[in-house]
Amino acid sequence: MTDRTELVEAALDSLQGGVALLDAGGRVVFWNRGAEAITGHASADLLGRPVPEALEPLLCGMLDGAVPEDARPEPGRGVPRVARHRLGQPVPAIARALALRDGLGGRLGIAVFFHPADSLDALPRGDCGENSGIEESQADLEERIGELFEDFTRAGVPFGVLWITVDQAHELRKTHGTQACEAMLEKIETTLVNGLRPAEELSRWGDDEFLVLSHERTPEMLEAHAQRLTGIARTTDFRWWGDRVSLTVSIGAAQAEPAETLANLLGRAQAAMVSSVHEGGNHIALAPGGQACLPS
């Protein structure tokens, strides 16, 4: 029978991000493959030894009381730290620490979870040139995306993104003005929210764009859900000064994969949305797996 410790180590090794376990004396007792890939420091060179100077900002800097008050973790994001790669270059990372205790509350050590900082920075976003208030929505949603993506990378909770644009928004803004376009977007947002699954979330991600954060279990299920939402969007009854405007949406769907960053996931969803628009609108596209080029 497989030893329970082996199972735990195998599970931690399978995570994309870095995982380090330090004992109460500050010695490294576990260093997963993700940590090796991010820092270049091999497990064999670290186990049973004090943290090397190159990794002190990343690991020792996460000990209780060592993080300055103005650098406390943002919800869902962690603390920015900079370690040094085995080859010498800096490694910006986002880290979170968890104190490990025995059944009586005695301290056993700490666990540090970290990933490259670029997996949360520079996320693809929709244009918000017409409405500066969208930036606040984007900031709030970015925080939530980070939390859900971390749940996916650490615990395998299914996570997918639907990037939605309203096909008629640009033309409506030109012909009827910004006020009419905003009223239309509020109307279609209400319609789409009523079609979401339990625990799904939708928010503005640009002047004419929305993101849906989904927990569908497979890309095929995510694609089918997106198709359902396009049908729901067509039922939106929007009228402006007596004129009825027929509305449709184009959707790009992307299911999170174990070997990608959050920026890449959103990039795939954005590229699929652009593909849907190029198909003439009222269309959905499922993003292929792998690395995606952001649309120009």
pLDDT, tens digit (0-9, with 9 covering 90-100), for 235-289: 998 998 888 889 999 999 999 998 778 888 888 999 999 999 989 999 999 998 7
Question: For domain 134-286, is the CATH number 1.20.1250.20?
Answer: no
pLDDT value of residue 130: 54
- Compute CA 40 distance to the chain's CA centroid, rounded to the nearest angstrom: 24
Distance CA 182, CA 227 (A): 24
Cα three-residue angle 175-181-182, rounded to 5 degrees? 155
Residues of the chain with pLDDT under 70: 1-3, 61-78, 118-122, 129-132, 290-296
Of 97, 252, 250, nearest to 168 by C-alpha is 250
- Residues 43, 55: Cα–Cα separation, whole Å: 13
- Residue pLDDT, tens place only, 182-210: 999 999 999 999 999 999 999 999 889 99
Going by C-alpha positions, the residue among 171, 148, 151, 176 that lies closest to residue 161 is: 148
Beta-carbon-side half-sphere exposure of residue 68 (alpha carbons within 13 Å): 5
First to last CA, the chain: 53
CB atoms within 10 A of CB 232: 15
Whole-number CA gyration radius for the chain: 22
Give the pLDDT of residue 255.
96
SS3 string, 251-271, reads EEEEECCCCCCHHHHHHHHHH
**CA proximity to 115, closest of 59, 43, 57, 34:** 34
CATH of 4-117, one of 1.10.3720.10, 3.30.420.310, 3.30.450.20, 3.30.470.10: 3.30.450.20
Same fold, 4-117 and 134-286: no
Q: What is the pLDDT of residue 244?
A: 87
Q: Is the CB of residue 286 less than 8 Å from the CB of residue 273?
A: no
Q: Which residues, in sequence order, are CB contacts of 214 under 8 Å at separation 6+?
A: 159, 160, 161, 162, 197, 200, 222, 225
> Which two tokens mark 128?
């918000």
d(CA 134, CA 137): 5
- List, in sequence order, the alpha helices (H) in 177-279: 178-193, 219-233, 262-278
The domain spans of the chain are 4-117, 134-286
Read off φ and ψ for residue 172, nearest 5 degrees: -65, -40
Chain length of the chain = 296
DSSP reduced 3-state for 114: strand
Q: Look at residues 95, 143, 87 and name the one whose alpha carbon lies nearest to residue 116.
A: 95
